Amino acid sequence: MVLLGTIVNGACIIIGTLLGKLLHRIPENMKGTVMYAIGLAVMVLGLQMGMKSENFLIVIISLVLGAVMGEWMGLDDKLNALGNWLEKRLGTESETSISQGFVTATLIFVIGAMAVIGALDSGIRGAHDVLYTKAIIDGFTSLILTTTLGIGVMFSAIPVILYQGTIALFATQIDRFVPQAVMDSFIVEMTSAGGIMIFAIGLNLIGLTKIRVANLLPGIVMVAAIVSIIYGYEKFIM
């Protein structure tokens, strides 16, 4: 089943959120310290990923063009608006909690190499080990995030399932029209660009910045476009 790993990932996020709601009485000082710990860990993960680029110029250009596109599209505002709509429908928590929980968790769970590589592995080889590992990590992360950011974290399971599921289904046919060299280069540069975004998320989590990370997401699409252009150019001049 191509989507099994993705479904397990979404289920773990939901389960982690529900457990987090049961543990909401954790002392505020403890929750604050835990959030700082998660933020620092996310920053370190982002740095590790960001260093993997083989052509950092691709990453810089992709992030700049992605930021311009994201700001023009207003992705961050739209994600927050969706979180606010969920708040109005639920009517249980503060608007900020629902929006922040949904947006923060979505960015943490969607951005990163594991989501793409795991989904590709599910589609191409029918192997779900990477997504199973990601599901466990996301489950524990959603538990902790929920104790501070609220029930909005649970709704991040929806974009996670849609995003990873689409990639997995796409991957079942990907070898027919995407050369392996392009895919390998894309994964490397996407990992670096995603790592920078994850580092920004960590900065936001510990309260140092308020970077609109969602507006950087088109940078992933720009990575794919630039890598494809470079590959086509190299094939042309050879």
Q: How far apart are the first and last CA of the chain?
A: 41
In this prediction, residue 162 carries a pLDDT of: 94
Instruction: Determine what percent of the chain is predicted with pLDDT higher than 70.
Output: 92
State whether residue 179 is helix, strand or coil. coil
State whether residue 210 is helix, strand or coil. coil
Per-residue pLDDT of the chain (238 residues; tens, 9 = 90+): 889 999 999 999 999 999 988 876 777 787 778 778 878 887 888 898 889 899 999 999 999 999 999 999 998 888 777 766 765 665 555 545 677 788 888 888 887 667 887 888 888 778 888 899 889 888 988 988 888 788 889 989 999 999 999 999 988 887 678 888 888 898 889 888 888 988 988 898 888 988 888 899 899 889 999 999 999 888 888 7
Beta strands in 56-173 (DSSP E): none
d(CA 219, CA 224): 9
pTM: 0.77
Max distance between CA atoms of the chain, in angstroms, equals: 64
Across 161-195, b (16+ Cβ under 10 Å) vs e yields bebbbebbbebeeeeeebeeeebebbbbbbbbbbb
List pLDDT tens digits, range 35-88: 788 788 878 888 988 898 999 999 999 999 999 999 999 988 887 777 667 656
Spatial contact of 78 and 221, defined as CB atoms under 8 Å apart = no
